[in-house]
């Protein structure tokens, strides 16, 4: 089995060590070191390198170096019958929960308003009078493995959680809603909404004026899905008229975010460069090893998002 790794994040020694430990007899090559026309079985990439004209005919599957696969699913260079499996990394899920938790605690403690008061040397009591965890309503959009981990984690920490997914789900301690008619009730009156949806035609622009207007006054919006989930002008209007308290953004329609973008300078926006949940060496190695074992044994690939077989 020959594997090509095409993501700069995985070019570090720690990734290499973890991969060699998990798959000692596998031949790994980094994309920049690959000879022209070389054949290989598995490509590990978050998106295909720009210089790649076509995938080799020997390729048996693509392992997505991340949880969201839209950038591969929408790539015309990838044949429709080529299986794509996504990363399943508990370490990534834990980081996303921590990030969401950080934003939720910031809302609980009125972080943005408090900083503005400090700046203005204004001594006043919190805008929210009841600042117990049980009083802060959170809504999680998306119940894939990452959204599920975040919803469970917030609930275990004592926050009331509602969650929304395309299909019905049942999760202990979480009020689950689904389908078009479930979205409004899920976010109604929420103090924080955390988006972890996949990017699909139906979810584009879901963080909209309609959704913001249903949240509690001063709510925080946390986007950990994709940049195209967010209606940027609706966000600007809701922040500027004071309806939303803050937005925590980790993903953007254009990445890297251009220096002239207004997000950089807005006082109610906290932004991070798409690093809220980075793949971990151990998680990636274990997830690739599981895919390799399934390929070798002719089993269904773990984390399969597109099998390439006609349904």
Known catalytic residues are 226, 274
C-beta of 278: minimal distance to ligand GLV in Å?
8
CB 229 within 8 A of CB 199: yes
Among 68, 83, 147, 303, binds ligand GLV (CB under 6 A): 68
Cis amide leading into 256 (omega within 30): yes
> Residues 11-50: x/- map of binding to ligand GLV (CB under 6 A)?
----------------------------------------
Q: Given candidates 52, 67, 84, 154, which one binds ligand GLV under the rule CB under 6 A?
A: 67
Instruction: In angstroms, give the least distance from the CB of 117 to ligand GLV.
Output: 35
Q: How far apart are CA 14 and CA 20, in angstroms?
A: 10
> Does the protein bind ligand GLV through residue 66 (CB under 6 A)?
yes
145 binds ligand GLV (CB under 6 A): no
Could you tell me the CA-to-CA distances from 48 to 7, 51, 63, 121 in Å, in that order? 9, 8, 11, 51
3-state SS class at 108: helix
Stretch in the footprint of ligand GLV (CB under 6 A) among 36-44, 60-68, 114-122, 237-245: 60-68
- In the structure encoding, which two tokens stand for residue 59, read together? 């390729």
- The pairing of strands 84-86 and 304-306 is antiparallel
**How many chain residues bind ligand GLV (CB under 6 A)?**
3
Radius of gyration of the chain (CA): 21
Q: Which helix (H) or strand (E) holds 86?
A: strand 84-86
- 196-255: which residues touch ligand GLV (CB under 6 A)? none
Smallest gap from residue 252 Cβ to ligand GLV (A): 11
CA distance 29 to 279: 19
Q: How far is the CB of 32 from ligand GLV (least distance, A)?
A: 22
Q: How many CB atoms lie within 10 A of CB 291?
A: 26
The residue (of 66 and 303) whose beta carbon lies closer to ligand GLV is 66
- Nearest to ligand GLV of 67, 151 (CB atom): 67
- Residue 137 or 274: the one with the smaller Cβ distance to ligand GLV is 274
Residue nearest to ligand GLV (CB): 66
Q: How far apart are CA 59 and CA 52, in angstroms?
A: 13
CB of 165 to ligand GLV, least distance (A): 18
Q: How far apart are CA 236 and CA 178, in angstroms?
A: 28
Q: Which is nearer to ligand GLV, 162 or 199 (CB)?
A: 199
Contact set with ligand GLV (CB under 6 A): 66-68
């Amino acid at each position: 089995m020959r594997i090509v790794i095409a993501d700069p994040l995985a070019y570090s020694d720690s990734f290499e060590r973890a991969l060699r430990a998990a798959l000692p007899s596998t031949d790994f090559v980094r994309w920049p070191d690959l000879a022209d026309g070389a054949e290989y079985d598995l490509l590990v990439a978050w998106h295909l390198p720009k210089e790649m004209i076509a995938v080799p005919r020997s390729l048996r599957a693509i392992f997505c170096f991340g949880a969201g696969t839209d950038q591969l699913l929408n790539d015309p260079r990838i044949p429709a019958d080529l299986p794509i499996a996504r990363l399943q990394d508990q370490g990534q899920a834990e980081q996303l929960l921590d990030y969401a938790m950080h934003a939720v605690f910031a809302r609980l403690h009125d972080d943005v308003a408090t900083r503005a008061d400090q700046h203005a040397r204004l001594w006043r009591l919190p805008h929210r009078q009841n600042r117990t965890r049980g009083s802060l309503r959170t809504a999680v959009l998306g119940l894939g493995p990452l959204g599920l981990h975040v919803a469970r984690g917030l609930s275990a920490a004592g926050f009331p959680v509602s969650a929304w997914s395309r299909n019905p789900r049942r999760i202990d301690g979480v009020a689950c809603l689904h389908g078009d008619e479930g979205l409004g009730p899920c976010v109604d009156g929420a103090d924080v909404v955390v988006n972890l949806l996949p990017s699909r035609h139906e979810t584009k622009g879901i963080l909209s004026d309609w959704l913001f207007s249903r949240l509690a006054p001063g709510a925080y919006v946390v986007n950990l899905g994709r940049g195209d989930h967010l209606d940027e002008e609706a966000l600007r209007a809701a922040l500027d008229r004071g309806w939303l308290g803050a937005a925590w953004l980790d993903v953007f329609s254009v990445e890297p975010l251009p220096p002239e973008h207004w997000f950089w300078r807005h006082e109610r926006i906290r932004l991070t460069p798409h690093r809220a949940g980075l793949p971990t060496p151990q998680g990636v190695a274990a997830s690739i090893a599981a895919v390799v074992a399934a390929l070798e044994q002719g089993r269904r690939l773990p984390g399969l998002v597109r099998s390439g077989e006609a349904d």
